[in-house]
Structure formats: C-alpha cells, structure tokens
C-alpha cells in the first residue's frame, strides 16, 4: 500500500515514507545540495580510508611499527565513522527540510577535527622523538 504526497497525486513507496519520516517534498535545490554535501563527506571518508591503507603499506621505513599501526587505525576508524556519519547527517537534514524544522547541528565536523588533532599530535611526538 502506498500513500500520496501532498504536492502531487503520485504514490509514495512505504519504504521512502518510513525512512524520510513523512512531511512535504522540499525544494529540489535543497535536496540536491544536501546530496552534494553527503557525497563530499563520503569523498572525505574514502580519502581517510585510503590514507590509512597507504600509511600501513608505504611507511615501513619512516615510522616505527607501533606508530604506523596507530596512525593507520586512527585513519581507518575515522574514515568509517565519517562514512556512517555522512548518511546519518544526510537523513537528519532531509527530514528537517521535509518537516520545516531547523537544521540539526553537524556532529561529524567535530569528529573530523578531533581525529585530525589526534593524528597531528602523534606525528609531532614521532618527529620530536625521532
């Protein structure tokens, strides 16, 4: 069974209504902007994942094994969390747009900032000791 959106007579699949939480269809420009932002977060997530793999694979002669593993793990975990957070953020914003509510605060931006700070501290300590 399908419901009908308020702006048109086209049926809306139940799964879409369940995921998006109802409301009215927002201006397509806002939805597309939300999508572009989601894809930017995904691109950043993939870059962090690739960076984690690269650190582990290519820096054997630069870092001690423990430091190399720590940096790789931080990058991989940060990339995974960012990818999951990107979807959550996209969904929360889409629901806010559909229900004319204020946009939620970004939770993944501070995560990225803290992750970058941890990586920087590890690199500084390694360089000073090395």
Name the pLDDT band for 2 (thresholds 50, 70, 90).
very low
The domain ranges of the chain are: 28-129
Tens digits of residue pLDDT in 79-96: 999 999 999 999 999 999
Residue 113 Cα to chain centre, angstroms: 13
Reply yes or no on whether the pLDDT at 6 is more than 80.
Answer: no
Reply yes or no on whether the pLDDT at 19 is more than 90.
Answer: no
What pTM value is reported for the model?
A: 0.80
Longest dimension (CA), the chain: 68
Tens digits of residue pLDDT in 51-75: 999 999 999 998 899 999 999 999 9
Tens digits of residue pLDDT in 84-129: 999 999 999 999 999 999 999 988 899 889 999 999 998 899 889 8
Predicted pLDDT at 10 = 63
Q: Mean of the per-residue pLDDT values for the chain?
A: 89
């Amino acid at each position: 069974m399908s419901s009908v959106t308020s702006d048109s007579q086209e049926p809306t699949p139940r799964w879409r209504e369940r995921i998006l939480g109802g409301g009215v269809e927002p201006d397509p420009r806002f939805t597309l902007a939300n999508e572009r932002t989601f894809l930017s977060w995904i691109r950043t997530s993939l870059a962090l994942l690739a960076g984690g793999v690269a650190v582990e694979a290519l820096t054997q002669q630069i870092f001690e094994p423990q430091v190399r593993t720590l940096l790789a793990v931080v990058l991989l975990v940060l990339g995974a969390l960012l990818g999951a957070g990107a979807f959550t953020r996209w969904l929360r914003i889409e629901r806010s747009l559909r229900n004319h509510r204020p946009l939620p605060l970004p939770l993944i931006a501070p995560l990225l900032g803290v992750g970058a700070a941890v990586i920087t501290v590890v690199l500084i300590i390694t360089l000073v000791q090395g």
